[in-house]
Chain A
Amino acid sequence: MPLLQHICQIFYDSHFGTMIRESNNVFPIIETIHVLSITLLFGTIAVLDLRMLGLLLRPISVARVARNVLPLTWSGFAVSFVSGFLLFWAEAAKNYPNPAFRAKMLLLLLAGLNPLIFHTGVYRRVTEWETLRLSPWRARAAAIASLLLWSGVIVAGRAIAYF
């Protein structure tokens, strides 16, 4: 058995994982929290992305929008990560072979890599372009990548239940 599959099986068989899986209410409640926190994550990062694409809040500088929006995005990420991990804990052995789950993990990795490149790259010189109505192409590319990748994460996440 591959190592990852083995680890998934340990999570799945654990007392805690079984408890979440077999309870009537715990799983749907965690699921609801997961969906709401994803809304917080994606809905707020989308505002920053759309600002860089010059579609809204143009009179407000990009850095100011980022400073105000990113703490919300991070909170959403933290809650969706924890709630998502609990859902995984309960279903790990079923998730492991699920193509939608694998796609989601891959997209999540790419969605996480994108801000890493953005913040160590073009965003370091944000003071030079923050007041432009339309951000430089590197920032616009990061914005489009962010919108597409997070959309992909949501779509793949919803698809997990269908496999």
Chain B
Amino acid sequence: MSLHALFMALAHSPLGHAMQASKWDFALVEMVHLLALAILGGSVLIVDLRLLGVILKGESAFLIGRDLSRMLLGSLAVMVVSGIALLSEEAGKCYYSPAFRWKIALLAAAVTFYFTLHRRALLHTGADAPNLWSRIAAIISLTLWLGVGVAGRAIGLL
């Protein structure tokens, strides 16, 4: 099945129909999406500010990263599920939306980076002061996640 067919199938699924039919179903899922966004944003920021050496300098970056990863991954899961529901409302339009394509590309990049080089930076930094690599990792991470958010906001505007 092509990607376009998959998007159309989503738009015509019972989920898609429910989201298209009811204003409040859509609003409710949007609220959940937004709440999870706030939690995700906060956890990304705290970890990356530690890698940058702005906050919690004396504490282990690894411990902070590990503890906040539960917050981050939990909210990410909620965002993906609620995001699919939001997508089903106008999947046909999103398929062609440049903002949506950017968002998904940036999301893939952010998640890949998080599980690979970012994780390594956390492990490597441990309880030490920030170094050049931890700072670069933090800046890349913040830029990617911010990009996901801004592109996401743009879907409704462009």
Contacts and interface: CB of A to CB of B under 8 A. Distances in A.
A149 interface: no
Looking at chain A's contact residues, is the secondary structure mostly helix, strand, loop, or mixed? helix
Given A31-B153, A59-B59, A158-B31, 4 more contacts: A39-B42, A43-B46, A57-B68, A72-B55
Interface in A43-70: 43-47, 50, 56-60, 64-65, 68-69
Contacts of A50: 71
Contact of B55 (A31, A39, A69): A69
Interface in B23-72: 23-24, 27, 30-31, 34-35, 37-43, 45-46, 49, 55-56, 59, 63-64, 67-68, 70-71
Contacts of B30: 158
A14 interface: no
Contact of A155 (B31, B46, B68): B31
Contacts of A56: 67-68, 70-71
Contacts of A151: 35
B68 A47 contact: yes
Q: Which of B38, B43, B71 has the most CB of A within 10 A?
A: B38
